[in-house]
Amino acid sequence: MKFAEAERIKNLPPYLFARIERLIAEKKKAGVDVISLGIGDPDRPTPAHIVDVLIAESQNPANHQYPSSVGLLRYRSAVAEWYKNRFGVELDPATEVVSLLGSKEGIAHISWCYLDPGDTVIVPDPGYPVYSGGAILAGAKPYYVPIYPKDGYLVDFDSIPPDVAKRAKMMFLNYPNNPTGAVATGEFFQRAIEFALKYEILICHDAAYSEVAYDGYRPPSFLQFPGAKEVGIEFHSVSKTYNMTGWRVGWAAGNPDVIEALGRLKSNIDSGVFQAIQYAAAAGLTGPQDSVAEQNAIYQERRDVLVEGLNSLGWSIEKPKATFYVWAPVPKGYTSESFAETVLEKCGVVVTPGTGYGKNGAGYFRMALTIKKERIVEAIERLKTGLGQVEF
């Protein structure tokens, strides 16, 4: 029997990384020692003091029952305390923070709260695919705003046609940015707030990489700028900060009406995050932060090896200030896809084609710094042997 798929899923491409994982598995099966720069998933463990709290709390039967879908007040207070210490942002943990099963879940679900079929949402291109995926599932129409290297990959609000801005109900932003590694200034966020106020648009800022930064740079939060709470929310999680991608715990914070709506939607869909995990994440947010600096020093060294290695082969890439991604143009004669295929075939190295993040990612590819330095050195050696010097 053949089941007819619903329209909403027919238009949904398979999730980018599902394809990459399949490709890697095929190569490995064929005996290739694959070096994957493809997926941004921290390779180092969660700090021990966080794991210890999980162990202790998982032994308490009170934590074995259904959690509340909006999160323990203890967890939401830890998020508020962290925002206060890190950004000077005041949040009411009872009304301005909601727990999420990882920020991805909230990013996908927020569209269900504010977008009806046919509604417009502004999505940066290239961008994290879940912004458009969630919106498409809700029946909405993403308007893709291209972001360009000439603007430091910041959205140019003046490039959005006024009729689009007028009908748009929501807009996603993400700095530090996946996939480009771009960072935003305070002036940029202020411009975003002005734009949102003018056109009555809900801003959903994704700050997943705010703690992964280099050379002493500290990315700002959208919420620290005047008026932000009036127009938006910020998504975040402990995934990248404390190497907790597998734990599935995050949050949304900001405008209380939006937080309430997201919590209401979620109470009809999921039953929250295992409480022991919430206690452990709270310990991460309120405990010692040394692991973050240590982690960033490791990524920074890997970044330097990768960027300097590629530049020695003919690229001229600037070192990103934040995120664990390096975004680079493909050499002359390649498309994003043909370049990714060539380096996999010739070098056994996985990179992600820029088009996986949107049409405007064409001509680029992304590499993640989540593998050991020695493997990055080897990947560069293999590119040198397989491709030689490249031209643009």
Strand ranges of the sheet holding 97-100, from the earlier edge strand across to the other edge:
97-100, 250-254, 232-237, 202-206, 168-174, 120-125, 141-146
Residues 219-248 that bind ligand PLP (CB under 6 A): 237, 239, 245
Angstrom distance (rounded) from CA 131 to CA 182:
17
Q: Which helix (H) or strand (E) holds 172?
A: strand 168-174
> Nearer Cβ to ligand PLP, position 36 or 237?
237
The only residue of 250, 284, 320, 348 in contact with ligand PLP, by rule CB under 6 A: 250
> How far lies 386's CA from each of 96, 152, 264, in Å?
52, 31, 53
Q: Is residue 322 within the footprint of ligand PLP (CB under 6 A)?
A: no
Tokens 């830890």, located at residue: 78
DSSP string, 18-53: HHHHHHHHHHHHTT---EE-S-----SPPPHHHHHH
CB of 324 to ligand PLP, least distance (A): 10
Least CB distance from residue 389 to ligand PLP, whole Å? 32
Q: In the complex with ligand PLP, which residue's Cβ is closer, 208 or 280?
A: 208
Is residue 205 within the footprint of ligand PLP (CB under 6 A)?
Answer: no
Which contiguous run of DSSP H or E holds residue 250? strand 250-254
Q: How far apart are CA 2 and CA 95, in angstroms?
A: 46
**Beta carbon nearer to ligand PLP, 16 or 113:** 16
Nearer to ligand PLP, 112 or 334 (CB): 112
For residues 15 to 44, the per-residue mask of contacts with ligand PLP, x marking binding by CB under 6 A and - elsewhere, is -------------------------x----
CA 56 to chain centre: 30
> Of 296 and 342, which has the nearer Cβ to ligand PLP?
296
Compare residues 180 and 291 and give the one whose CB is closer to ligand PLP: 180
Other beta carbons less than 10 A from residue 307's beta carbon: 20
Establish if 208 lies at the interface with ligand PLP (CB under 6 A): yes
Give CA 316 to chain center in angstroms. 25
How many chain residues are in contact with ligand PLP, going by CB under 6 A? 13
Q: Which is nearer to ligand PLP, 199 or 247 (CB)?
A: 247
- State which of residues 63, 77, 120, 178 lies at the interface with ligand PLP (CB under 6 A): 178
* Cα separation, 309 vs 238, whole angstroms: 31
State the Cα–Cα distance between residues 322 and 237, nearest whole angstrom.
Answer: 16
Q: At its nearest, how many Å lie between ligand PLP and the CB of residue 325?
A: 8
Q: Spell out, one character per residue from 85 to 104, where the chain touches ligand PLP: x when CB under 6 A holds, - when not.
A: -----------------xxx
List residues near ligand PLP by CB under 6 A. Answer: 40, 102-104, 128, 174, 178, 206, 208, 237, 239, 245, 250
